[in-house]
């Protein structure tokens, strides 16, 4: 495959210089009213619920291949397209799109570091004109190994494996069960909590913290690159951002728990800790 057009984590200055590149697709995952008020020139809008599937009480599942094919074709995605995703919340929704692309083997993608906060606050150009992409005929096929994706059974099968590290990125109150968003509260046995916003630099327009700081945050809690690190939250929205952080840092076995606590915490047979 050809070299990616842009790095995995792209800075706004670099993206601005590449906006006219062929095969570049910039995807906005903010709210519709935010997109209408101002977005990156040429960016197409994607409504976040279109890339997640509900099977109540479980949320945050991968859509089936036919749904993904429809959504991605409407975006104009082709095999040659390099996708840059952004949102206005630090990257959770944008990273969920990239995790979905990884699951179907489309690996030419980037996250805009800091998203709309960086772009708008640091005087990059915005436009209000809605962009309608030329539809494609993209056929989404979830990869058989789906290395970025794990489900409940994988975790149950490896709970006692010292090579598995479970990273719970919900709030501390959710982790302890004080806040309850499922039938049961608490966390998966052995999981360690780092709230997802800890990876962002709040004083620097929600960019990721520096590589050395990110590595130290993870490794001091036992999340080392030799382990299979599974990130989870309530519906694998916040933890998609953490999955991206792990991938960005070069963790070869970075994975996200599809369904996350909405799956684990709504079952009677899954073990929990509080």
β-pairing, 207-208 vs 200-201, is: antiparallel
* pLDDT tens by residue, 208-255: 999 999 999 999 999 999 999 999 999 999 999 999 999 999 999 999
Contact residues for 168 (Cβ-Cβ < 8 A; gap 6+): 175, 187, 188, 191, 192, 193, 194, 232, 233
Q: Are 96 and 236 in contact (CB under 8 A)?
A: yes
C-alpha 122/C-alpha 132 separation (Å) is 26
C-alpha 247/C-alpha 230 separation (Å) is 12
pLDDT value at position 2? 65
Contact residues for 269 (Cβ-Cβ < 8 A; gap 6+): none
* pLDDT tens by residue, 73-132: 999 999 999 999 999 999 999 999 999 999 999 999 999 999 999 999 999 999 999 999
Which pLDDT band, with edges at 50, 70 and 90, does 4 fall under? confident
> Cα 40 from chain centroid?
20
- What domains does the chain contain, in order, with CATH numbers? 9-121 (3.40.250.10), 149-264 (3.40.250.10)
Q: Which residues are designated catalytic?
A: 233
């Amino acid at each position: 495959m050809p070299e990616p057009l842009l790095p995995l984590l792209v800075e706004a200055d670099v993206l601005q210089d590449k906006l006219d590149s062929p095969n570049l697709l910039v995807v906005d995952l903010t709210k519709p009213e935010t997109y209408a008020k101002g977005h990156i020139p040429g960016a197409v809008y994607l409504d976040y619920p279109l890339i997640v599937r509900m099977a109540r009480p479980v949320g945050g599942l991968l859509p089936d291949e036919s749904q993904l094919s429809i959504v991605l074709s409407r975006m104009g995605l082709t095999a040659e397209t390099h996708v840059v995703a952004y949102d206005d919340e630090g990257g959770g929704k944008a990273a969920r799109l990239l995790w979905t692309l990884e699951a179907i083997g489309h690996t030419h993608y980037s996250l805009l570091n800091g998203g709309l906060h960086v772009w708008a606050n640091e005087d990059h150009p915005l436009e209000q004109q809605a962009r309608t992409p030329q539809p494609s005929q993209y056929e989404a096929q979830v990869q058989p190994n789906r290395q970025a994706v794990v489900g409940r059974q994988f975790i149950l099968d490896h709970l006692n494996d010292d090579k598995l590290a479970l990273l719970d990125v919900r709030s501390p109150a959710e982790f302890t069960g004080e806040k309850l968003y499922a039938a049961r509260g608490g966390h998966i046995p052995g999981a360690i909590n780092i709230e997802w916003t800890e990876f962002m630099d709040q004083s620097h327009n929600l960019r990721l913290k520096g590589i050395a700081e990110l590595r130290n945050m993870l490794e001091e809690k036992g999340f080392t690159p030799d382990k299979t690190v599974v990130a989870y939250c309530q519906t694998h929205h916040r933890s998609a951002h953490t999955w991206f952080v792990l991938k960005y840092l070069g963790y070869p076995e970075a994975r996200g728990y599809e369904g996350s606590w909405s799956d684990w915490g709504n079952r009677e047979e899954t073990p929990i800790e509080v």
